[in-house]
Amino acid sequence: MLFDVLKWFHIVLAITAVGATATYAVWIQRGTIDKGALPFSLRGVQFIDSKIANPSFVLILLTGIGMVLTADMALDTPWILLSIILWFVGLLLGIFGYTPTLRRQIVEAEKGGPDSEDYKAVAWRGMVLGIVMGVIVLFIIYLMVFKPALWG
Domain ranges of the chain: 2-146
Instruction: Report the C-alpha gap between 149 and 15 in whole angstroms.
Output: 25
pLDDT beyond 80 at 27: yes
pLDDT in tens, 88-127: 999 999 999 999 999 999 999 999 999 999 999 999 999 9
Per residue in 40-88, pLDDT (tens digit) is 999 999 999 999 999 999 999 999 999 999 998 999 999 999 999 999 9
Taking alpha carbons only, the member of 64, 94, 102 closest to residue 81 is 64
User: How far apart are the C-alpha atoms of 143 and 83, rounded to whole Å?
Assistant: 7
Q: What is the DSSP string of 70-88?
A: HTT--TTSHHHHHHHHHHH
